[in-house]
Structure 1
Amino acid sequence: MEHACSHRNKSYTLPFAHRKNISRLALTPQGNLLLSIDEDGKAILTNFPRRVALHHFTFKSSVSAVKFSSSGRHFAVGLGRQIEVWHTPPTPGSNASGELDFAPFVKHREYSGHFDSVRNIEWSGDSRFFLSSAKDLTARIWSLDPEERFMPTTLAGHREGVQGAWFSKNQETASAFHSLHKTAPGAYDEHEPTDHEDDDANMQWRIIQRHYFAQDSARLNCAAFHADSGLLVAGFSTGIFGLYELPDFNLIHTLSISQSNIDFVTINKTGEWLAFGASKFGQLLVWEWQSESYILKQQGHFDSMNSLVYSPDGQRIITAADDGKIKVWDVTSGFCVVTFTEHSSGVTACEFAKRGNVFFTASLDGSVRAWDLIRYRNFRTFTAPSRLSFSSLAVDPSGEVVCAGSLDSFDIHIWSVQTGQFLDRLSGHEGPVSSLSFAPNGNTLVSGSWDHTVRIWSIFGRTQTSEPLQLQADVLSVVFRPDSKEIAASTLDGQLTFWSVEDAEQVGVVDGRRDVSGGRRITDRRTAANEARTKSFKTLAYSADGSCVLAGGNSKYICLYGVRSGAIVKKFTVTVNLSVDGTQEFLNSRNITEAGPVELLDEQGEESELEDRIDRTLPGASRGDPSMRKARPEVRISAIAFSPTGRAFCAASTEGLLIYSLDESLQFDPFDLDTDITPATTLATLCTRNYLKALVMAFRLNERYLIRQVYEGIPVSDIPLVVRELPVVYLGGLLRFVVSSVDGTPHLEFNLLWVQQLLLQHGRYIRDNRRDFASELRMVEKCGVRTKQDLAKL
């Protein structure tokens, strides 16, 4: 899986992926190297500031713990009962001699002594020693190199597996934490060496304090310790965390932050912020304990997403999921802005009104709701005369009428948005209505059904009759082209069919079965090419200009087709994660046993702790308690939407909300190149004050750093002259560059002057060719709104 990181309230995704779920992450104290390890022990070493993968390596077994030393020169890895210490690959400037090691991973030593899996590793402040805690009820102290009068020491006396162990700031005491059952959820033991003046070689450690966490019917899941401030934070299975001050074990405060286990906790360097992770609900929380306030609180959908839609300005994405939640995401930062929880069941569809900040959702709870994005509230609720579970939705572009279809009924239901009254029921389909779409001009409604027909309705006409279009299989999705003259329909046999609305005639067909087919489930006894389940498209979306159509389904592929040619333009692979069903192409018989696939076999008997060994199997059930069964998510694309700017699209998948954009990186795509045009000659031209020629030369080379240098080197007084003489072929590129520069430079007024002059001098040409400049103008509007909001906060 890819990893997303946060910096200055923005998130980004590193441009590489593991082949299985990431299980362990470690960052050097200097913050320059990131080590990510997946479930199989395959690791990727990354230059974190530059987001570049440096080296791929495998530890040949699953890793249970990893930690960089305080100096950053070594890292320790827990591999089952073994601990291995490796040299950190040196980076320029980290070695005193200035030498670079060309072998990325060099093993320092192996350490053996634990009798069960290592859970946690912590280093001392001088990086000479490290503590390991394990499930064998012990913690052990090791030295990096042989030390005089030091022997590896075992800290025993615990009654359960040790969750973590740490050194104090002066390294004279060691603390260990373990979980207990029944009345006490966990205990904290503090150890110190006994004073043997006669024989230091036989120095022993003893328990000097033992404290218990006063959390009823809870279990200690994770803990973290900040040596400099003496703060201990502990996370419990009830979703509560406690903050304690050591060595006196004074409780500072407790707080409930989740409804499920807190699985991970860490403290930042200064000890001011605490970060928590709850994997069941996908929660991430950063808490400032001194002011008792949230720094960051994010939670994704913990069930599969069903639908998504862009806001008309392209700055927000609305997602709806089976968990009954509706989330509003900010495209720029990648964070969730607000969550609506009024629906009591899964939300199946969402749609924006073309004007205003209003969107609508349909749910299995039998209601259609209207939401206000200015006040963040639900201001209308629509219900049918009989109890139905709505699965599809369409909104009139003017926002006056909303329509919904259901799999329980063959009719289409219509409501008035202004009054909230039920208006009419459209009958004609002989099967469940699977998809609805309003024409962008608002005149017609199109519906697709499992009865093999697509119907075109004129709901504002005097007679609400429909024109049926016959297809060869169940209709899964139907969408309008942006000009309202054509519709595209996807059917269960893998066909994409295009129809003219005016003539009700078929104008094109694409056979996409071979394109979308890919990936087999772990329980399948056949290869992906022979699996019928993946051979159809469940969702469609037209591009902004109507020349292309995106299609996705129960497959790891998103296909982009040219409408006129009928040919596939590009094929996007959503994920290569082998921990998800549907990503493998071929059958591997080695993983199939008489009892089923190896990955789905229960391993209850191999656990070391009593709680994990208790057999809760139901009588007659072959795979144990249904709530505890192993289940693998299956890759699928449930919804696709194009951005109004036309330069990005998003997809709701098993891996989460994915955004594909053309604007993130500038590719080297030179045009009109000449052998005399080089970066050196471009800068020389700038020095001669021939600003227009220098700007054109920079755009010909298409190197962003060079364009920025020339752009910022042009005096403010010369901007109108340069813009007036600028060839129109560079107009779109300069507009995109200026808008993208607003976020990365403090020269706000300078950028706004460029935008103003470009629109003044070339406004007529842009208006006459508005279709060619549609995406640039939307970017300008989006940038203006964002700049206004940022200034309003000041």
Structure 2
Amino acid sequence: MDPLKGHDDWVTSVTFSPNNRHIVSRSNDKTVRVWDTQTSQGVMNPLKGHDHWVISVAFSPDGRHVVSGSYDKTVRVWDAQTGQSFMDPLKGHDDSVTSVTFSPDGRYIVSGSDDKIVRVWDTHMDQSIIDPLASHDSCVTLVAFFPNGRQIVSGSGDMTVRVWDAQTGHSFMDPLKGHDDWVNSVAFSPNGRHLVSGSYDEAVRVWDAHTGESVMGPLKGHNHWVASVAFSPDGRHIVSGSYDRTVRVWDAQTGQSFMDPLKGHDKCVTSVAFSPNGRHIVSGSYDKTVRVWDAQTGHDDWVNSVAFSPDGRHIVSGSDDKTVRVWDAHTGQSIMDPLKGHDYWVMSVAFSPDGKHIVSGSDDKTVRVWDAQTGQSVMDPLKGHDDSVTSVAFSPDGRYIVSGSDDKIVRVWDTHTGQGVIDPLAGHDSCVNSVAFSPDGRHIVSGSDDKTVRVWDAQTGQTIIDPFTLSCSTSGIPVVSPILPIYS
């Protein structure tokens, strides 16, 4: 989807609602915003009440409430449906509140602050329930509950990670040491066995949550501070966001990078999170935008089309993020930078028969041809359609490209010159959704929203049989109407 825009200052924290339907973001514009993940629109007016920058936000486990922490030293709880304040501000910290989250049962809130203190609040009583957790020697940068709600983890500018008993406030183990700079972000794995931490030392570390021992890492790849980290819901991957403007996804078992860095933000990435179903990643940035990425492909919007290379070694994909990507089919890794040039959604992609070129069709009404080895455009965009290009394909000899469009037209292009080789194939009464060449290259088939399939002579552009339609029998089995030859 397109970036979510509306904040007037840096976006410093983002997270999904438990049902995947909403994203909450907070900003230095002093507001909290709630977005619809399907429409990219705000679902209510900004939540206003804080007197200074909002630093951290989180949904309650049931999705009914949002908690926020601010530089104004307070914690606020909001009704996620109405945007109204749910209770009086929670006061007790002596400095900026840097991190907040709910307990798994939604009863408690934990907050961390620049005052070096961690506090636990009862949402029913509007007050702190245990003495402040005080052992850090510097500001507390992030807090989280253990999945069972019995422990709390905190990261600090003192370069340590601490684990606390949520009932007594006592330290659960010795501080976890290994980072060489401030620890900015910590998170538990879903099964509670591991902790992940991100630091100003540009590294990500994974720890045993019961012993405090480092189990892998440091995971290195970022070239600036790591601001945020999170586990995927299945615990198999870790996502990290950095001041180097990128989002990275790691294999939680091996520590290896799972895909190329996700690039799109123009400034520091300050917050990252997986969606509850693990299919998407959300990121917030100082560029004032929120972005949503496909956690498997790296595209930051819907993937509309995929195709294998002729030798089966590569896969090409086209997305609503306006890019084309090429992947190693065996490792799942991207093999080059995204192919950029289209001005709107990429609807269809295909390899040439020799695997040397890629063709893409887009909602920007153009067809583009790319070098599959370098990712460079090999000719000017092919222009002629008056609406979105929905389907593209090469001829078996690679000499021609056929394209179908929402303008109801099928076009045939010469791959050497970029010119149309015959008049537009006009006959459909609605959008053309799919086109293909016959194996011998002599015919073209097209399918349309007008419920018909048409077969054309690839040399003359004439229809060679009457259109045929697909209907269903009473048993639900598709039945194709008779194909009647045209005799002259």
- TM-score, length basis structure 2: 0.50
Assess, with a 3 A threshold, how the Cα gap between structure 1 residues 567 and 394 changes in structure 2: closer, same or farther. Answer: same
Q: Deviation of residue 537 (structure 1)?
A: 1.1
1:503 is aligned, of 251, 254, 264, to: 254
Please give the per-residue CA displacement for 1:81-117, whole angstroms capped at 9, x wherever unaligned: xxxxxxxxxxxxxxxxxxxxxxxxxxxxxxxxxxxxx
1:415 is aligned, of 160, 164, 185, to: 164
Q: Deviation of residue 399 (structure 1)?
A: 1.4
d(CA) in 2 for partners of 1:341 and 1:369? 10
Query: Does residue 1:383 correspond to 2:133, yes or no?
Result: yes
- Aligned position for 1:575: none
d(CA) in 1 for partners of 2:7 and 2:213? 54
Assess, with a 3 A threshold, how the Cα gap between structure 1 residues 400 and 17 changes in structure 2: closer, same or farther. Answer: closer
- Aligned position for 1:458: 208
2:271 is aligned, of 514, 539, 547, to: 539
Query: Does residue 1:302 correspond to 2:51, yes or no?
Result: yes
Provide structure 1 residue ranges, at least 5 long, that are not aligned to the other structure: 1-15, 20-280, 283-297, 518-533, 573-794
Report 1:360-439 matches (<5 A). Answer: 360-385=110-135, 387-407=137-157, 409-423=158-172, 424-439=174-189
AA partner of residue 367 (structure 1): I
Assess, with a 3 A threshold, how the Cα gap between structure 1 residues 455 and 299 changes in structure 2: closer, same or farther. Answer: closer
Tell me if structure 1 keeps the 8 A contact 2:198–2:229: yes
AA partner of residue 552 (structure 1): G
Report 1:170-185 matches (<5 A). Answer: none
d(CA) in 1 for partners of 2:289 and 2:244? 17
Tell me if structure 2 keeps the 8 A contact 1:490–1:496: yes
1:349 is aligned, of 90, 94, 99, to: 99
Tell me if structure 2 keeps the 8 A contact 1:382–1:422: no
Tell me if structure 2 keeps the 8 A contact 1:496–1:509: no
Assess, with a 3 A threshold, how the Cα gap between structure 1 residues 17 and 508 changes in structure 2: closer, same or farther. Answer: closer
Provide structure 2 residue ranges, at least 5 long, that are not aligned to the other structure: 9-29, 32-46, 303-319, 322-488
AA partner of residue 568 (structure 1): D
Report 1:85-484 matches (<5 A). Answer: 300-338=49-87, 339-385=89-135, 387-407=137-157, 409-423=158-172, 424-461=174-211, 464-468=213-217, 469-473=219-223, 474-484=225-235
- Aligned position for 1:195: none
Tell me if structure 1 keeps the 8 A contact 2:237–2:251: yes
Q: How many residues align?
A: 262
Tell me if structure 1 keeps the 8 A contact 2:7–2:288: no
AA partner of residue 500 (structure 1): D
Q: Deviation of residue 459 (structure 1)?
A: 2.1
d(CA) in 2 for partners of 1:425 and 1:568? 37
- Aligned position for 2:20: none
Greater helix share, structure number = 1
Q: Deviation of residue 500 (structure 1)?
A: 1.4
Looking at CA atoms only, which structure, 1 or 2, has the larger radius of gyration? 1
Tell me if structure 1 keeps the 8 A contact 2:105–2:149: yes
Q: Deviation of residue 355 (structure 1)?
A: 2.3
Q: CA RMSD in A?
A: 2.8
Greater strand share, structure number = 2
d(CA) in 2 for partners of 1:562 and 1:412? 30
AA partner of residue 253 (structure 2): E
Query: Does residue 1:550 correspond to 2:301, yes or no?
Result: no
Secondary structure of 1:349's counterpart equals: strand
Please give the per-residue CA displacement for 1:619-661, whole angstroms capped at 9, x wherever unaligned: xxxxxxxxxxxxxxxxxxxxxxxxxxxxxxxxxxxxxxxxxxx
Compare 313-322 and 484-493 and name the one that shifted more.
484-493
- Aligned position for 1:491: 242
d(CA) in 2 for partners of 1:322 and 1:492? 21
Q: Deviation of residue 382 (structure 1)?
A: 3.5
Q: Deviation of residue 369 (structure 1)?
A: 0.7
Q: Deviation of residue 357 (structure 1)?
A: 1.1
d(CA) in 1 for partners of 2:62 and 2:241? 28
d(CA) in 1 for partners of 2:143 and 2:132? 12
Tell me if structure 1 keeps the 8 A contact 2:205–2:214: no
d(CA) in 2 for partners of 1:543 and 1:490? 15
d(CA) in 1 for partners of 2:73 and 2:301? 36
Tell me if structure 2 keeps the 8 A contact 1:384–1:413: no
Q: Report the identity percentage.
A: 27
1 or 2 for the larger relative contact order (CA 8 Å, sep ≥6)?
A: 2
Assess, with a 3 A threshold, how the Cα gap between structure 1 residues 18 and 494 changes in structure 2: closer, same or farther. Answer: closer
- Aligned position for 1:60: none
Q: Deviation of residue 422 (structure 1)?
A: 2.1
Q: Deviation of residue 465 (structure 1)?
A: 2.8
d(CA) in 2 for partners of 1:17 and 1:490? 21
Tell me if structure 1 keeps the 8 A contact 2:192–2:209: no
d(CA) in 1 for partners of 2:137 and 2:258? 39
